[in-house]
């Protein structure tokens, strides 16, 4: 724990993390491409600026609306509708959100890392202090006049 604490506080070295920044960027880029194509294909009257805002905000409302409407006749729309495409976009959205959540967990763990490492050192310090007191008491008892020989005890 002491080495980890030194690495974290002094050398600013971090341990392993759950999130992969490249995977998050790739998932985000893929979702944005999918939403851009979806909006262009399903909402023809939307301007480029509005479409860019939908993509940047990861607005899934139009995907959810189409998916809700198409599940009424799921078998028919599975072949001829947008149900599969909408489901794939939702899966990509969940993947992106999962990567973001892992990055948030990493941030929380990093923020609490020093506290956790200090707490892990506490039992060792307690044992060291108890050992020192025991050693000190033993030395004082051996050196002091309170220790009597066996002949005086009987």
Asked whether 42 and 82 are in contact (CB, 8 A), the reply is: yes
Q: Say whether pLDDT at 70 is over 60.
A: yes
Which pLDDT score, from 0 to 100, does residue 149 have?
58
Q: What is the pTM of this model?
A: 0.65
Q: Within 13 Å and on the Cβ side, how many CA atoms surround 104?
A: 6
Nearest alpha carbon to residue 93 among 60, 71, 54? 60
Q: Say whether pLDDT at 52 is over 90.
A: yes
Which pLDDT score, from 0 to 100, does residue 76 have?
84
Asked whether 25 and 10 are in contact (CB, 8 A), the reply is: no
93-124 confidence digits (pLDDT tens): 999 999 999 999 988 887 787 787 778 778 88
CA distances from 123 to 120, 129, 137 (A): 7, 10, 21
Asked whether 56 and 75 are in contact (CB, 8 A), the reply is: no
């Amino acid at each position: 724990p002491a080495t980890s604490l030194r690495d974290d506080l002094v050398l600013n070295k971090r341990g392993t993390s759950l999130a992969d920044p490249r995977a998050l960027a790739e998932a985000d880029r893929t979702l944005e491409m999918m939403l851009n194509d979806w909006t262009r294909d399903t909402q023809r009257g939307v301007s480029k600026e509005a479409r860019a805002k939908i993509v940047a905000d990861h607005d899934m409302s139009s995907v959810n609306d189409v998916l809700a409407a198409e599940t009424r006749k799921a078998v028919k729309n599975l072949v001829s509708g947008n149900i599969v495409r909408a489901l794939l976009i939702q899966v990509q959205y969940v993947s992106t959100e999962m990567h973001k959540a892992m990055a948030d967990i990493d941030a929380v763990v990093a923020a609490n890392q020093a506290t956790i490492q200090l707490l892990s050192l506490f039992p060792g310090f307690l044992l060291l202090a108890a050992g020192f007191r025991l050693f000190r008491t033993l030395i004082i008892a051996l050196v002091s006049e309170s220790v009597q020989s066996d002949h005086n005890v009987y």
